[in-house]
Amino acid sequence: MRNDLENLVTRARAARQNAYAPYSRYAVGAAVLAKSGKIYTGCNIENAAYPSGLCAERVAIFKAVSEGEREFTALAVVTANAGAMCGACRQVLSEFAADDAVIVLAPARGKRRKRVTMKRMLLDRFGAMHLRSKR
């Protein structure tokens, strides 16, 4: 798993180079590891109409889902300062990742990383099971 995580961070760093962030200047890259073993990458894409932009994490996840993936075992996110994922990205990832899925937050330069599980990243999460419950 360690090599997989290193590879994910490397791929997320490369994806970060494609970020389109002319407004915030906060470039983000992400790489998600599907249960199939395939890796999908994404970068943040901003827009002058701010709500129209999309985070790197969701770009990577949506790319993977559009290719037929439904389960993810790990995600790496690279920012200038190893910043945390936003709530929307956490919720979207939780749709496709088990509680033990690993999330690595890494800086663009350096080795200091944060590593957490999906369960820890989004405690008491809302999911499909809530929609199936009796009303």
Give the domain ranges of the chain: 2-132
Q: What is the pTM of this model?
A: 0.91
Please report which residue ranges of the chain form alpha helices under DSSP H. Answer: 2-16, 56-66, 87-96, 118-121, 128-132
Residue with tokens 């496709």: 96
Other residues' Cβ atoms within 10 Å of the Cβ of residue 22 = 9
Q: How confident is the model at residue 112 (pLDDT cuts 50, 70, 90)?
A: confident
Q: How far apart are CA 59 and CA 42, in angstroms?
A: 5
**CATH of 2-132 given 1.10.10.10, 3.40.140.10, 3.30.70.2740, 3.40.50.920:** 3.40.140.10
Mean pLDDT, the chain, rounded, equals: 93
Question: Residues 22-80: pLDDT tens digits?
Answer: 999 999 999 999 999 999 999 999 999 989 999 999 999 999 999 999 999 999 999 99
Q: Which among 46, 57, 71, 95 is annotated as catalytic?
A: 57
Q: Is 71 a catalytic residue?
A: no
Query: How many residues can be counted in the chain?
Result: 135
Q: How far apart are CA 104 and CA 31, in angstroms?
A: 10
**Stretch 91-97: mean pLDDT:** 95
Residue 88 confidence (pLDDT) above 80: yes
Residue 21 confidence (pLDDT) above 70: yes
CA dihedral sign of residues 13, 16, 85, 98: negative
